[in-house]
Amino acid sequence: MKYCFLLLFLFCFQACQPAADTATKKAPTTNKTTDTKSFDPATSDAKAITLADEVMEAMGGQEKWEDLQYISWNFFKARDLVWDKKNNRVRIEVKRDSSIYLLNMNTMEGKVWRNGTAMSQPDSVNKYLKFAKNMWINDSYWLVMPFKLKDPGVSLKYLRSDTTQAGAPAEVVQLTFNEVGNTPNNKYEVYIDQKDKLIKQWAFYSKAEQEKPSAIWPWDNYKPYNGVLLSSDRSDDRGPFEVKVYQTLPAVVFEDLQAKWKQ
């Protein structure tokens, strides 16, 4: 379990210090803003794909998910994010150093507030905007991973019937990544409840060839958000916290570093 806190805390508390090896500290997520191809069923087995589709349906379905535009949450009590899902924009506020990042992930343009002032030097702004995108990739995966089971570059493999640490019978599906995301050598196992078809646990492997997981966490405490079920305030007290969805938000939330958006 020596890697247990790598994904959890190392990324959180280095949020104010982007470095050349930052990408090695992120969640192994795919990112539809950069991957233009579609999910390839040829790299997955039929039972795993069926289970992934059942998870999506149990959480409200693809149509309901696509209808959600604005989602906000707190990641590990370290930073707040608000995501304009349809326009692929994000606002990130880091509590530790009061920094603020506004990023359009389609264009990689945006604004950065650090050390009490708006940054203006283009190279520095671009560096921190890239770091902001990596924060979003990591933090959003902790919230919406079940909706990314069939992202481009993901391969699904049915493994076995098992039980979660809480004792619930589950079907286990493995996720590996084909040259996508920040850490494509990682691997996950998700535990899908046999009764309600919701993911109730996930296991993280820092290297795909590992036999034992680096960490196992619950994915529980689902709540409805405009017709979509999301797991928040989980039983291990690791969040995501303060999850909210909005039908509308003013444009200044994603354009003005000084905007007040929390409702």
Q: Which domains are seen in the chain, by residue range?
A: 6-10+38-254 (2.50.20)
pLDDT (0 to 100) of residue 261: 83
Residues 6 or more apart whose CB falls under 8 angstroms from that of 40 comprise 152
pLDDT (0 to 100) of residue 178: 87
pLDDT (0 to 100) of residue 186: 87
pLDDT (0 to 100) of residue 126: 97
pLDDT (0 to 100) of residue 8: 44
* Residue 240 · residue 78 · CB < 8 Å: no
pLDDT (0 to 100) of residue 6: 40
Q: Which residues of the chain fall short of a pLDDT of 50? A: 1-36
pLDDT (0 to 100) of residue 212: 96
* Residue 230 · residue 143 · CB < 8 Å: yes
Exposed e or buried b for every residue in 31-55, given b needs 16+ CB within 10 A? beeebeeebeeeebeeebbebbeeb
pLDDT (0 to 100) of residue 181: 63
At 22-39, the pLDDT tens digits run 333 344 444 433 343 699
Which residue from 190, 245, 197 is spatially nearest to 223, judged by alpha carbons?
A: 245
- At residue 33's C-alpha, the angle toward residues 31 and 34, to 5°, is 75
pLDDT (0 to 100) of residue 182: 63
**Amino acid in position 226:** N
